[in-house]
Amino acid sequence: MKILYYDCFSGISGDMHLGAMLDLGVEPEYLLSGLKKLDMDGYEIAINRDMRRGITGTRADVVLHSHEIRQAGGGVHGRSYRDIVAMLEKSGLPEGAKKVALAIFAKLAEAEAKVHSHAIDDVHFHEVGAVDSIVDIVGAALCLAHLKPDRILCSPVQIGGGIVKCEHGTFPVPAPATAEILRGIPVRMGLVPFETTTPTGAAILAACVESFTDRIGFTPEKIGYGIGRRDTEVPNVLRVYLGEMEAEIAEDLEIFDAMLVECNIDDMNPELYDGVMAALFSRGALDVFLTPIVMKKSRPAVTISVICPGEKRRAIEETLFLQTTTFGVRTHRIEKTMLCREFAKVATRFGEITMKSACYRGRKIKSKPEYEDCKRLAEENGVSLAEIYAAIPYVS
């Protein structure tokens, strides 16, 4: 299984992404010939070798011919999202690349629409910025279609710091559109006092990345560096890995980022824990467990641990604040690895029971009955759970 991994330790922009893809091995001729299938001129791409803090990579700059762009009908208002979609759909781009480009532009337009309270189709891109974004986004889609990764992963994204000047004013980093695009994506801030992740770079990640994680669970085979425009103490580069993961393992494992939310409690009625756990599951918890501990002054206590998706973190924290005696929680980002499951019904003399099986390295390694089915049948038949379990035909 081919893995593409973005290491955004210094952020990502459209031109850094193009440079990294070319440095990874995408032929410039392939990229340039693909871009010619767009009904758009007024630009060229300058591709050069460059260096930042001793790291050599590829720099890809979109050079705009402003006069030609305005003559071609960009005008003061530039191109609308509706115009760009129409241009992409009627282009001669490969279907795979066209689909990815449309998905990236949709992320960008949705963010702009929300920030400025416009309908998505009415979002306009500045006459120069529109061409730049189209080249960066379609170029990204062409490169990804050429590399054909089976999975695309990414590190947490560095967004920088300081302030940024936008079309509508000056804002603290991240710019409003970038912040909107990155909702639900793990970010890091403050490495440098300027913007390191642009809306275009953020949109590429939001549309294409399957999972964000610090852990590289594959074998890197190629590494590409896309060189940015700044030269600072921290190398302004995007590092991208292309590697392999054993297909038989990858197909049997589901790996995703999650949050671990915990608190210690030494002053709550134990009878309340059952209701708290039920409330946590109803608010999106994937797992809830209690661990007995000893706190200060030798007080017996309990740690409530909750595993949840990142987007459910606030709901879980709110539940703990409202339904327990805790004054605070601690949260860690974790990676959850799960065996893929299969479900099948089996017949017993008491009724049907759902069996859950797990596979690894291409074979079934374990099976177990669903407890709730067994409990229900035991109650309906007036027998013990042990009798239900004994009646199940386990088939490996």
Q: Are 280 and 309 in contact (CB under 8 A)?
A: no
For 258-262, what is the mean pLDDT? 94
Strands (DSSP E) found in the chain: 2-7, 43-52, 55-64, 79-80, 124-125, 151-154, 157-158, 163-166, 169-172, 187-188, 211-212, 219-227, 237-244, 253-265, 287-294, 300-308, 330-339, 341-348, 351-360, 363-369
pLDDT classification of 302: cutoffs 50, 70, 90: very high
What pLDDT score was predicted for residue 249? 55
Residue type, 36: K
Please state which of the ranges 17-31, 73-87, 104-118, 274-288 shows the lowest mean pLDDT. Answer: 73-87
* Strand-strand pairing, 151-154 and 2-7: parallel
CB 172 within 8 A of CB 162: yes
User: For residue 104, what pLDDT band results from cuts at 50, 70 and 90?
Assistant: very high
Q: What is the mean pLDDT of residues 107-113?
A: 89
Residue 211 sits at φ, ψ, to 5 deg, of -150, 145
pLDDT in tens, 121-143: 777 766 445 788 899 999 999 99
Measuring CA to CA, which residue among 347, 345, 350 is closest to residue 383? 350
Q: Which residue is it, tokens 């952020």? A: 11
Between 257 and 271, name the one with better pLDDT. 271
Pull the structure tokens for residue 276: 């708290």
> Bigger pLDDT: 280 or 55?
280
Residue 193 vs residue 116, higher pLDDT: 193
Dihedrals φ, ψ of 72, to 5°?
-75, 0
- DSSP 3-state assignment of 12? strand
pTM reported for the whole predicted model: 0.67
Q: Which has the higher per-residue pLDDT, 68 or 57?
A: 57
